[in-house]
Amino acid sequence: MQPENLPPKNSASKEFWKFLAIVVFIILPIRIWVAEPFIVSGDSMYPTFKNHDYLIVDSLTYKLENPKRYDVIVFRYPLDTKRYFIKRIIGLPGETVTVHNKTITITTPDNPEGFIIDEPVLDVETQGEVTTTLANDEYYVLGDNRPVSSDSRIWGSLKKEFIIGRPLIRLFPFQKIDILPGEVADVDQTGQIPKNQ
């Protein structure tokens, strides 16, 4: 006979199987296909993200739509896919990106004269002298803290297959908790910031 204050053995077993079912059918799919944790390492995205910021990465959105200019993304480093980087998208597939005289010019088939992009998140100028033409599955990514960032200026373009997702929530530090951290609002279709902003 069971003591009155303990649940029957079959009840405990039932609870265990319910818990296991929740883990297998709800938590694991969310972890694998929808969101995953990421801890920022280094200062390449300062001041947008600081060392040890704890992020939840949305890994579903880019399965349904393409990344946009100025999106911050987390991706596998193409030269060592065991490492993860966080950078901001500057150039889109099919564009030519030129870094010259501390400015970034984007040239497209529809805009062969090119345009200099606005970068509202930066306090620093972009160093480097490089021109890169992106294939239909490639992006040009840069860190917000350009002087210390290892990015497309150094190791080249980023193929879409390496993109994990975008930061959905910053959970730590607690005083900086926010949704879609690093997002740039009011970007037009070319990726420009309207001049009245």
Known catalytic membership, residue 18: no
**Alpha carbon of 67 to those of 5, 29, 104, 163, 177: distances in Å?**
56, 22, 19, 9, 23
Q: In which order are the strands placed within the sheet that holds 96-100?
A: 111-116, 103-108, 96-100, 130-133
Number of neighbours of residue 185 by Cβ within 10 angstroms: 9
Rounded-to-integer distance, Cα 74 and Cα 88, Å: 9
Asked if residues 117 and 191 have their Cβ atoms less than 8 Å apart, the reply is: yes
Residues forming beta bridges with residue 158, ordered by sequence position: 139
> Which 3 state secondary structure label does DSSP give 15?
helix
**Catalytic site residue from 59, 87, 149, 152:** 87
Q: Cα(172)–Cα(49) distance, rounded to whole angstroms? A: 11
Verify whether residue 87 is a known catalytic residue: yes
Q: Which of 9, 13, 41, 44 is catalytic?
A: 44
**Residues with catalytic function:** 44, 87
